[in-house]
């Protein structure tokens, strides 16, 4: 036998008097993702320089990056050399206000003057790329 509802009403497996669907509008903070009112995870470079350390066998690129958004997220950084894409790096999940200083190995670079560029996605719209000119010997 089913349970009696207040006032003596009964229904097979359903409460009587409740709506069939949830009310409109966000029920959790997750519903606000992507809205104008709330930021998602967004990343910026710390404002320091892009460091490039060429050696005869390998080249290391390093920078400092922070999550300046409101949510936990991962950053994806693209690396270009002389205008051509050469590598990418994806962070672990970073909480808002936290950062990382990765070291990315990009292989051997020919001797001469080069330009390196890194850019981050999702960027905040400011400090989302770094560029430097360096000499490899």
Residue-wise pLDDT for 75-115, tens only, equals: 999 999 999 999 999 999 999 999 999 999 999 999 999 99
pLDDT at 57: 86
pTM for the full predicted model: 0.70
* Statement: residue 10 has pLDDT above 50: no
pLDDT at 4: 44
Q: Render the burial of 28-58: b for 16+ CB within 10 Å, e for the rest.
A: eeeeeeeeeeebebbbbbeeeebbbebeeee
Q: Mind listing the pLDDT tens digit for each residue in 14-33?
A: 444 444 444 444 433 333 34
* Statement: residue 36 has pLDDT above 80: no
Largest interatomic CA distance in the chain = 88
pLDDT at 103: 95
On whether the CB atoms of residues 57 and 108 are closer than 8 A, the answer is yes
pLDDT category, 13, cuts 50, 70, 90?
Answer: very low
Q: State percent of the chain over pLDDT 70.
A: 72
Minimum mean pLDDT range among 8-17, 46-55, 65-74, 102-111:
8-17
């Amino acid at each position: 036998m089913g349970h009696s509802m207040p006032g003596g009403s009964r229904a097979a497996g359903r409460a009587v008097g409740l709506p069939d669907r949830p009310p409109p509008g966000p029920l959790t903070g997750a519903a606000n993702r992507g809205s104008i009112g709330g930021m998602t995870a967004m990343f910026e470079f710390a404002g320091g320089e892009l460091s490039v350390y060429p050696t005869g066998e390998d080249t290391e690129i390093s920078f400092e990056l922070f999550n300046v958004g409101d949510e936990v997220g991962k950053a994806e950084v693209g690396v270009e050399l002389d205008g051509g894409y050469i590598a990418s790096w994806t962070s672990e999940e970073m909480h808002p206000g936290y950062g990382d200083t990765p070291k990315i190995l990009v292989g051997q670079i020919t001797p001469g003057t080069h330009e390196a560029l890194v850019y981050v996605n999702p960027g905040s719209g400011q400090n989302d790329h770094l560029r430097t000119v360096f000499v490899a010997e």
